[in-house]
Amino acid sequence: MLLFLALALVMALREMPHDSLATWGAFVTRFPLALRLALVTALSYAGASVIIRQLWSSDNSFRPIYASVVVALVCAALLLPGRSARPRPGPASGASG
């Protein structure tokens, strides 16, 4: 249930229209998708390995895994912006009005 709530929160924040998010989305989308996916994978792996290494022996629950999944979701949300954060295309040049 907590993972669902974290996922819903990250996805809702990702889709919210805000000027700073639009600026960030315009900046991030300059880089190729394959590069951003590779960066999300590397950051998620690094964050998960640190969190699990530190917390796995001291906690007999799935909290370390849950925390590492949330870190991965935040990385993905920041580097793969939603539709509202992407720059909008200009008006069509041949449109009559």
| pLDDT higher than 70, residue 94 | no
- Considering only residues 90 and 9, tell me which one the structure prediction assigns the higher pLDDT: 9
Q: State residue 77 phi and psi, 5-degree precision.
A: -65, -35
Query: Is the CB of residue 94 less than 8 Å from the CB of residue 42?
Result: no
Percentage of the chain lying above the pLDDT 90 cut: 16
Task: Report the alpha-carbon distance of residue 20 to residue 59 in Å, rounded.
Answer: 38
**CA-closest candidate to residue 80, choices 17, 8, 31:** 31
Percentage of the chain lying above the pLDDT 70 cut: 74
Q: Computed over its alpha carbons, how large is the radius of gyration of the chain?
A: 17
Task: Report the alpha-carbon distance of residue 63 to residue 50 in Å, rounded.
Answer: 13
Q: What pLDDT was estimated at residue 28?
A: 87
Domain boundaries, the chain: 32-84
pLDDT one-digit tens code per residue, 80-90: 876 655 555 55
This model's pTM is above 0.75: no
